[in-house]
């Protein structure tokens, strides 16, 4: 039994009274009903109905999530795992119930393998520190790919500096696909870990992660997947993937900011030292020696983001109510339609044309800076992102400093894609 399961069983039962405005599993994909669940979408921006196409940066939150946060703060708020009083028992139960939802969402074997963290960024830093300290020495190698987000580059560079290890980087081709033969060639007896993105935030490429994991495991190398973009678009089954670590951020999964999930195989987490020291991660402390708590608490020092976990639990309920497969199919249709339509805009080049793509469309326009594209679209109420998307090495490969990026969510419509394409026509006119 994990530390948190023990605490929950000794304490209050999970509160069944949390608001449940999530749709029923299996309900038909009703885009208008979904849109009504997101209050923020019902507004005008710069005199136009808001068209929110910046979902890779962060998603909007359904009312179910906002209600769960309100319910928690107006009824249950207390510190967890500590108090004997009613509110603390309720808050603990709500937090651990959210952990069980997270476990089920990624299909981990046990809640002991599911850590709450702040974000994908924190999850990767945790592994770089903790796994890095236990398993990486001078001369060892960490294998990444060229399409990584800075969050999956910088922590490894910092680790390499600390330990005297080296980064290896697997290349991508001109479509933005990982070159598997090169990846395989770079797996060496010195490789201690492979860390790669499941779904690229800058290109939309979906990596063949199962194949990659099996290549790495044949050489005894564990694999961390950065699932920041995949979590809301691809069903995750960590047991089927057999990945060793999986990181995701709640705010990209229709949940709150400041909360994320790190899955890790218990046999690895058990052998890794804690990341942060403090309250809740110990079983006993003397000035001579500290004994650490069981998993997952060993990796959750201090008061966690209880409300964030509760909100993320509500987001998971909501997303599962709609169905990840249904969301993926809807976003595929939006992406297909958008790809065809923008291809007719003169002077527009799509960056990232992988055969396996999801949810994200990056592009540049001849002679127009992506920031200007973003600004002119904003004047029409259309929110996209322009920049390097924290993937500067990838931008360098494509010979651009930045791209414009439209990224889809479950509530976007084909009409919104058409509004984007019309908007790009106006961008062209302004710069004609």
CB of 56 to ligand C6P, least distance (A): 4
Measured from the CB atom, the residue of 80 and 361 that comes closer to ligand C6P is 361
Here's the x/- map for ligand C6P, 66-105, by CB under 6 A: it reads as: ----------------------------------------
Tell me: does residue 163 bind ligand C6P (CB under 6 A): no
119 touching ligand C6P, by CB under 6 A: yes
* Window of 9-17, 106-114, 116-124, 130-138 that interacts with ligand C6P by CB under 6 A: 116-124
Instruction: Record the tokens describing residue 48, joined without a space.
Output: 């136009």
Relative to beta strand 191-197, strand 245-249 is unpaired
Task: Tell me the number of residues near ligand C6P by CB under 6 A.
Answer: 17
Q: Which stretch binds ligand C6P (CB under 6 A): 129-137, 343-351, 374-382, 384-392?
A: 384-392
**How distant, in Å, are the alpha carbons of 142, 166, 327, 373, 377 from that of 384?**
33, 36, 20, 9, 8
Q: Which residue reads 């409300």 in tokens?
A: 307
Please give the residues from 170 up to 229 whose contact with ligand C6P meets the rule CB under 6 A. 197, 201, 226, 228-229
Stretch binding ligand C6P (CB under 6 A), from 31-39, 115-123, 263-271, 326-334: 115-123
At residue 197's C-alpha, the angle toward residues 196 and 199, to 5°, is 155
Sequence-ordered list of residues with C-beta below 8 angstroms from that of 171, at least 6 positions apart, any chain: 145, 146, 178, 179, 182
Q: One of 45, 328, 390, 400 is an active-site residue; which one? A: 390
- Output the CA angle 409-415-417, nearest 5 degrees: 55
Q: Is 377 exposed, middle or buried (0-12, 13-18, 19+ CB in 10 A)?
A: buried
- Interface with ligand C6P, residue 300, by CB under 6 A: no
315, 61 in Cβ contact below 8 A?
Answer: yes
Binding window for ligand C6P (CB under 6 A); candidates: 26-34, 147-155, 271-279, 412-420: 147-155
Positive or negative torsion for Cα 372, 375, 377, 382 = positive
Measured over the CA atoms of residue 327, residue 330, residue 29 and residue 70, the dihedral's sign is positive
Concerning whether 243 is annotated as a catalytic residue, the answer is no
Q: Applying CB under 6 A, which of residues 27, 45, 57, 383 lies at the interface with ligand C6P?
A: 57
- What track of x and - describes contact with ligand C6P for positions 244 through 283 (by CB under 6 A)? -----x----------------------------------
Residue 287 to residue 326: CA distance in whole angstroms: 55
Which residues are catalytically annotated? 390
- Kindly list the residues in this chain that would bind ligand C6P in the complex (CB under 6 A): 56-57, 119-121, 149, 151-152, 197, 201, 226, 228-229, 249, 385, 389-390
């Amino acid at each position: 039994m994990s530390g948190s399961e023990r605490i929950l069983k000794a304490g209050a039962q999970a509160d069944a009274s949390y608001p449940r405005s999530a749709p029923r599993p299996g309900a038909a994909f009703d885009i208008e009903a979904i849109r009504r669940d997101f209050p923020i979408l019902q507004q005008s921006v710069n005199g136009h109905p808001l068209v929110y196409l910046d979902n890779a940066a962060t998603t909007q939150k359904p009312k179910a999530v906002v209600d769960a946060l309100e319910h928690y703060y107006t009824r249950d708020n207390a510190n967890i795992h500590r108090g004997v009083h009613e509110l603390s028992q309720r808050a603990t139960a709500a937090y651990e119930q959210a952990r069980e939802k997270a476990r089920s969402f990624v299909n981990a074997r046990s809640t002991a393998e599911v850590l709450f963290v702040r974000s994908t960024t924190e999850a990767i830093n945790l592994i770089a520190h903790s796994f890095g300290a236990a398993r990486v020495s001078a001369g060892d190698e960490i294998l990444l790919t060229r399409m990584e987000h800075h969050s999956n580059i910088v922590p490894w560079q910092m680790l390499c500096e600390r330990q005297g290890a080296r980064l290896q980087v697997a290349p991508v081709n001109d479509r933005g696909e990982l070159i598997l033969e090169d990846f395989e060639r770079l797996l060496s007896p010195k490789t201690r870990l492979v860390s790669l993105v499941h779904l690229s935030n800058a290109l939309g490429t979906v990596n063949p992660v199962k194949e990659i994991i099996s290549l790495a495991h044949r050489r005894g190398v564990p694999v961390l997947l950065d699932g920041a973009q995949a979590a809301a678009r691809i069903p995750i089954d960590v047991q089927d993937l057999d990945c060793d670590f999986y990181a995701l951020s709640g705010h990209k999964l229709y949940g709150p900011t400041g909360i994320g999930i790190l899955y890790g195989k218990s046999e690895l987490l058990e052998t890794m030292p804690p990341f942060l020291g403090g309250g809740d991660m110990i079983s006993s402390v003397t000035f001579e020696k500290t004994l650490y708590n069981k998993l997952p608490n060993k990796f959750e020092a201090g008061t966690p983001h209880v409300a964030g976990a509760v909100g993320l639990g509500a987001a998971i309920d909501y997303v599962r109510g709609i169905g990840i497969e249904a969301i993926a199919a809807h976003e595929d249709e939006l992406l297909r339609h958008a790809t065809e339509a923008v291809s007719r805009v003169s002077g527009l080049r799509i960056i990232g044309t992988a055969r396996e793509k999801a949810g994200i469309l990056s592009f540049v326009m001849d002679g127009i800076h992506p920031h200007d594209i973003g600004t002119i679209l904003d004047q029409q109420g259309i929110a996209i992102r322009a920049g390097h998307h924290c993937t500067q090495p990838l931008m360098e490969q494509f010979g651009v400093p930045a791209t414009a990026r439209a990224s889809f969510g479950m509530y976007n419509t084909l009409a919104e894609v058409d509004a984007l394409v019309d908007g790009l026509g106006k961008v062209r006119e302004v710069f004609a």
